[in-house]
Amino acid sequence: MGSVTSYFAPLCGEEQKLEEKRHFRGNDRPFNLSYHYADNAITTSKYSLFTFLPLNLFEQFRRLANAYFLSLMLLQLIPQISSLSWFTTAVPLILVLSITAVKDASDDINRHRSDKQVNNRMVNVLIDGELRSEKWMNVQVGDIIKLENNQFVTADLMLLSSSEPLNLVYVETAELDGETNLKVKQALTVTGEMGDSIHALAAFKGEVQCEPPNNRLDKFRGTLSLDGQTYSLDNDKVLLRGCTVRNTDWCFGLVIFGGPDTKLMQNSGKTTFKRTSIDHLMNVLVLCIFGFLAFMCSVLAIGNGIWEFKEGSVFTIFLPREQGVNAALSSFLSFWSYVIVLNTMVPISLYVSVEIIRLGNSFYIDWDRKMYYPKNDTPAQARTTTLNEELGQIKYIFSDKTGTLTQNIMTFNKCSINGKAYGELLDFSGQRVEITEKTERVDFSWNKLADPKFSFHDHSLEETVREGKREAQAFFRLLALCHTVMPEEKTEGELYYQAQSPDEGALVTAARNFGFVFRSRTPESITAVEMGRNVIYELLAVLDFNNVRKRMSVIVRSPDGKLTLLCKGADTIIYERLHPSCNKLREVTTIHLNEYAGDGLRTLVLAYKDLDEGYMDDWKRRHHEANTAMEDREERLDELYEEIEKDLMLLGATAVEDKLQDGVPQTIEQLAKADIKIWVLTGDKQETAENIGYSCNMLREEMKEIFVVAATTAEGVKEELQKARRTMCPQAAEEATVIKARAGLFWLQKTQRVEDEKVDGDYGLIINGHSLAFGLEKDLQLELLRTACMCQTVICCRVTPLQKAQVVQLVKKYKQAVTLAIGDGANDVSMIKAAHIGVGISGQEGMQAVLSSDFSFAQFRYLQRLLLVHGRWSYLRMCKFLGYFFYKNFTFTFVHFWYAFFCGFSAQTVYDEWFITLYNMVYTALPVLGMSLFDQDVNDRWSFQYPQLYAPGQLNLYFSKKAFVRCMMHSCYSSLILFFIPWAAMHDTVRDDGKDVADYQSFALLAQTCLLVVMNIQLCLDTCYWTAVNHFFVWGSLAAYFAITLTMYSNGMFLIFTSSFPFVGTARNSLNQPNVWLTIFLTSLLCILPLVAFRFVLIQLRPNINDKVRDTVRKEALPALAPRRPPARRISTRRSGYAFSHTQGFGDLVTSRRFLLKMPLRSRPVVFTQTDSALAHSQPQHYRTIAEEPHSPQAAGAP
């Protein structure tokens, strides 16, 4: 929305011509510019310097109340109908517009800064035969650019050449899909031959034809035409913007898509103007108020016409009408006069106050020390100040997994070797001992090549290995040899492992610390250091991992000539291939595996097999034939793998922990108690996501059933969804019932809602990305929604960023519930933008999610405080504010209405004009702000103790259309008392000295004093939590009223400003009369007593959750802090806790004859980062609201 044209074009029906095919030429800018492709500059801001004022005013006047006040100000410019000056409306309106504009400008300036920072990054571009350093935004389609190690990829590129053998490039795609394991890309051989020759690259004139810009991250189709030959391009030849080049000195790439056309930006979603459900409700209510105001003005205008016709002629003798004015015209003018007089039904101060309350509640989030993460010095931040109360109404949470629920750190936690379990500490009674930072760690100082950051606490395992136990040494030997890890040794003894998956890194590092160090590899050999002794194994074959095999094997020859097959994989797969002699050991190992699965650990089973030399020669010959076959190559290889991976001997099992962030299971449990549904949307594989589901207590053993939808056809997905739905709710209708309605301003918005269906018991649903793609299609989306919403937990695996947003939009569309999306990477941006509330976690995947979010913090566990404390309080305060504000202004306005019947419908005001001016701006502004900023029904600890307190917000019970109608009825009753009791009390009344007191000015003073006293008593009844500030505001406002009134009604003010202060002496003449104070007391009693009685009876007969909890709070002491105790082990009936985030293909690379050529040592980054436990530095957090288990210092995350 950089210009007015671009902003309004869609509104006018203009459409951009869609690109059907992209065609460009390398190193030929004039040719490429003729197609007008987008350059590489990105724009996420909404305004420019020139468009800010018109666009911002346009957005603000879309709020109906602002348009109303503008119209009112124009009416006040007409002297014939206005009894109030125009600036009484203009000044507050300009103030409101200015405050909102400044806030919007501040938000957009931050976006501009972010855009400028990205667009001004520098990159080497090949221009006119030489490399020049250019800004990212100046890069064009068809340019050749050079990237170096650890650089962000500038745009979507076709890889041309790289410094690595076979033209490989390693990239980290965390910003795109949330996965931190490295991916491999490979250039075409024909372009790879150019290497880093600037002359050859400058002469490159290849033409590329490819698909138009799209959001598919996993697919790319195109062709390269070069020297009369055509070469196919696929996703493996493309580097996407958002990736980071790793472990590659340099690479060259040809720009395919730039800026907004890149797949990252295509997936980022549009920036939308988010508004809360209360905002939408207020728009509707304001429209209803306008209608009611028009009705009241019409009644009074008709009354004026009748009065003028019947009674007005009597007064024309001494009050002649203006020329041309008759009863009909007088009636017409009085209508508009009453529009101005009664405009306080929707005072502009309402919107000023709402913005102040939201700003104040945002500061509470920013200042909350219990949401501050000292380790990274990261406080919570409310990046948007207009959505606070929506935090108290969340029904669905959509969460990323990697980096949001987990820390992206794998640690070697436990293992089972030859039937004995290691890794747990037991006390003298056999009970598990909690492992903390103070627990003694195993001392690996005897191993000079050990990783100093690796942590393990069971000393018996170290003793077993050092004693030379054959099975234990074979166990770690297998971990040191059976993998596809690439080692690096910067200096002697400083090893760094580049692992394709963090699981492998953790296992190889564990083997390293226990004395079996993987040192180096060539395509034919693996060098290891075993208990200080250098050993070289001949590598004969790598039987690679894939999702069907769920295992990988290596065949090695030891220095003494012994042939061994080493295998690791899922227990269900390995068990089928074990030798019968392992049955007993298998039973014991299974018990350990079930315990590990119960703890949510990721498990692998290890086995080996000794091979015969003659058989191996024959197998190698057949393997070579199969590997070079032109047909059925994969099938023949699989048969050979199946043949040799039989009669394996079991060694044991490993248990790796995908470390959750602190407090994640407790947070999810608390949110579930608050009836908030959590869906996990992750790009990770199914096994990994399922394991995390169990670790987080989202998936539980006691669930009746966990459905897995993994069909690859639309029909198959439909059948699986229907089967799951019929299992959960057999009596449910086959077709979904969609309730259609209208909502929004003027009821123009069409809504569709699918009701929740009751299910007996808890169920879970796991669905993968392919199946989800079919499920999101128009004819299946309702089936998907019905089935998913019946489940307590939903986990979507292998989903793209766009699919995440589509799932959120599906729930928003048909559930009409408030949604929240939380993530930490660029792949979560579209989901964050699509949800009502977007929360960014400032984690290890960059700051893209935070920059696009409405709220941000450092740890997932802070989400419960954001919702159950800040969100609930904000919603409660806003609802109380609106209820009280409408009440005090309706009451104020209705008194005018009743007075009209006693003043000839002349639009005379019942109050002093100064009281009308100051009523909302001074007398009642601060008390209601004090309540709206400080009130709380119960404190934060009780909010955590009773998460059920959150439910009323989800059901919108505190402020709705019904509550608004009740407020109007209450106001009508109060206004009748406030008008007729003072009127009756002063009618024909005399003072103590016999003088008449029943004049207009005395009645006005009495009526406005009664009104103000009643409003303050009502506020006191509504306030649950009193602070010194509340007391000061309430009693200070009353004192200010009497002080200002006595001053303005004094002789001095009358003498100085005679026309402005006509009520001279009224205050001192009236307020010294006992009957005036008695009238104030009686009026207050009659207004408040029925309300108190009604609330008392309601609490006794139909108490709500708040009433019950507040009653408990009065009777009980503050809940104690949750004790810190080790988590209870759950009994698992799962057959496997297997998970391995590995990808097929690395096996071929490590055995390639041209791979890993001898190259000079060079500095490379740490692949696995290491951090200490968060709780170690959390001293400022004085108490915990959840049971947070401490963790041992990170193990095996590696160097």
Please name the residue that has the structure tokens 């602002």: 66
CB 362 within 8 A of CB 388: yes
Residue of 409 and 458 predicted with greater confidence: 458
pLDDT of residue 1075: 85
> 139: which 2 tokens?
């890069």
pLDDT of residue 1159: 39
Q: How far apart are CA 785 and CA 756, in angstroms?
A: 10
Q: In this model, does residue 552 exceed pLDDT 80?
A: yes
Mean pLDDT of 1166-1186: 33
CB 1020 within 8 A of CB 1042: no
What does the DSSP 8-state code read for residue 866? I
Q: How far apart are CA 214 and CA 256, in angstroms?
A: 12
* SS3 of residue 551 by DSSP: strand
Q: In this model, does residue 1145 exceed pLDDT 80?
A: no
Residue of 1159 and 786 predicted with greater confidence: 786
Phi, psi of 1188 (to 5 degrees): -105, 120
Please name the residue that has the structure tokens 């999702």: 547
Please name the residue that has the structure tokens 């007005």: 312
The pLDDT > 90 percentage for the chain reads 36
What does the DSSP 8-state code read for residue 261? G
> 488: which 2 tokens?
């690096």
List all residues 6 or more positions away from 959 whose beta carbon is below 8 Å from its beta carbon: 278, 281, 878, 879, 882, 883
List all residues 6 or more positions away from 825 whose beta carbon is below 8 Å from its beta carbon: 174, 175, 176, 178, 400, 402, 403, 843, 845, 846, 848, 849
List all residues 6 or more positions away from 526 whose beta carbon is below 8 Å from its beta carbon: 481, 518, 520, 536, 537, 539, 556
Q: How far apart are CA 674 and CA 536, in angstroms?
A: 59
Q: In this model, does residue 690 exceed pLDDT 70?
A: yes
Residue of 521 and 320 predicted with greater confidence: 521
Q: In this model, does residue 1199 exceed pLDDT 60?
A: no
* SS3 of residue 244 by DSSP: strand
Q: How far apart are CA 40 and CA 257, in angstroms?
A: 8
Q: How far apart are CA 977 and CA 378, in angstroms?
A: 55
* SS3 of residue 199 by DSSP: helix
Band of pLDDT at residue 1128, cut at 50, 70 and 90: low
pLDDT of residue 1121: 60
Band of pLDDT at residue 273, cut at 50, 70 and 90: low
- What is the side-by-side order of every strand in the sheet holding 238-239? 130-135, 122-127, 144-148, 250-257, 156-162, 238-239
Model confidence pTM above 0.85: no
- CA 1161-1163-1169 angle, to 5 degrees, is 130
Q: Which of 1134, 1130, 402 is nearest to 708 (CA)?
A: 1134
Q: Which of 472, 551, 564, 555 is nearest to 515 (CA)?
A: 472
* Catalytic residue (choose from 39, 400, 458, 599): 400
pLDDT of residue 1136: 59
pLDDT tens by residue, 529-545:
999 899 999 999 888 88
CA of residue 1009 relative to chain centroid, distance: 49
Mean pLDDT of 1136-1154: 60
Band of pLDDT at residue 269, cut at 50, 70 and 90: low
CB 909 within 8 A of CB 304: no
β pairing state of 837-841 and 244-246: unpaired
List all residues 6 or more positions away from 995 whose beta carbon is below 8 Å from its beta carbon: none
Q: Which of 474, 603, 482 is nearest to 543 (CA)?
A: 482
Which class for 993: exposed (0-12), middle (13-18), buried (19 or more C-beta within 10 A)?
Answer: exposed
pLDDT of residue 318: 65
List all residues 6 or more positions away from 676 whose beta carbon is below 8 Å from its beta carbon: 394, 395, 396, 397, 867, 950, 954
CB 399 within 8 A of CB 822: yes
Please tell me the chain's helix, strand, coil percentages from 3-state DSSP, rounded to the nearest 5: 45, 20, 35
Q: How far apart are CA 250 and CA 1103, in angstroms?
A: 70
List all residues 6 or more positions away from 12 whose beta carbon is below 8 Å from its beta carbon: none
Task: Of 209-218, 424-433, 721-730, give the lowest mean pLDDT range.
Answer: 424-433
Mean pLDDT of 493-503: 78
pLDDT tens by residue, 899-949:
999 888 888 888 887 788 788 878 898 999 999 999 998 898 999 999 999
Band of pLDDT at residue 815, cut at 50, 70 and 90: confident
- CA 826-815-838 angle, to 5 degrees, is 25
Listed in sequence order, the DSSP H helices in 948-1101 are 951-954, 961-986, 1000-1022, 1028-1048, 1051-1056, 1066-1070, 1074-1101
Residue of 1038 and 1138 predicted with greater confidence: 1038
* SS3 of residue 783 by DSSP: helix
pLDDT tens by residue, 57-74:
888 887 777 887 888 888
Mean pLDDT of 372-400: 89
Mean pLDDT of 419-434: 80
CB 402 within 8 A of CB 395: no
Band of pLDDT at residue 1053, cut at 50, 70 and 90: low
Mean pLDDT of 122-133: 92
Q: Which of 859, 918, 924 is nearest to 885 (CA)?
A: 924
pLDDT of residue 452: 87
The pLDDT > 70 percentage for the chain reads 85
Q: How far apart are CA 958 and CA 956, in angstroms?
A: 6
- The per-residue pLDDT of the chain, averaged, comes to 83
pLDDT of residue 304: 86
pLDDT of residue 217: 79
Q: How far apart are CA 93 and CA 101, in angstroms?
A: 12
CB 264 within 8 A of CB 827: no
CB 52 within 8 A of CB 165: no
Task: Of 14-23, 112-121, 957-966, give the lowest mean pLDDT range.
Answer: 14-23
Q: In this model, does residue 1130 exceed pLDDT 70?
A: no
- CA 763-839-1123 angle, to 5 degrees, is 65
Q: How far apart are CA 686 and CA 684, in angstroms?
A: 7
Mean pLDDT of 255-267: 89
Residue of 1038 and 278 predicted with greater confidence: 1038
Q: State the virtual CA torsion across 637, 639, 643, 648 in degrees, nearest 10.
A: 80
Angle, helix 64-76 to helix 349-367, in steps of 10 degrees: 140
Q: In this model, does residue 17 exceed pLDDT 70?
A: no
| Amino acid making up residue 479 | L
Q: In this model, does residue 1172 exceed pLDDT 50?
A: no
What does the DSSP 8-state code read for residue 610? E
Q: How far apart are CA 383 and CA 399, in angstroms?
A: 19
Query: Furthest-apart CA pair in the chain: how many Å?
Result: 132
**How many CA within 13 A on the CB side of residue 482?**
26
| Amino acid making up residue 382 | A
List all residues 6 or more positions away from 342 whose beta carbon is below 8 Å from its beta carbon: 293, 296, 297, 893, 896, 897
Listed in sequence order, the DSSP H helices in 500-655 are 502-513, 571-575, 583-598, 613-627, 633-644
Assign residue 844 a region: left if phi > 0, alpha if psi is -120 to 50, beta otherwise?
alpha
pLDDT tens by residue, 955-973:
888 888 899 999 999 999 9
Please name every residue paired with 1074 in a beta bridge, in sequence order, or none if there are none. none
- Other residues' Cβ atoms within 10 Å of the Cβ of residue 378: 18
Phi, psi of 199 (to 5 degrees): -65, -45
- Other residues' Cβ atoms within 10 Å of the Cβ of residue 239: 24
Residue of 1058 and 692 predicted with greater confidence: 692
> 391: which 2 tokens?
């935090």
Q: In this model, does residue 392 exceed pLDDT 90?
A: yes
| Amino acid making up residue 311 | E
Mean pLDDT of 174-183: 68
Catalytic residue check, 828: no
pLDDT of residue 695: 81
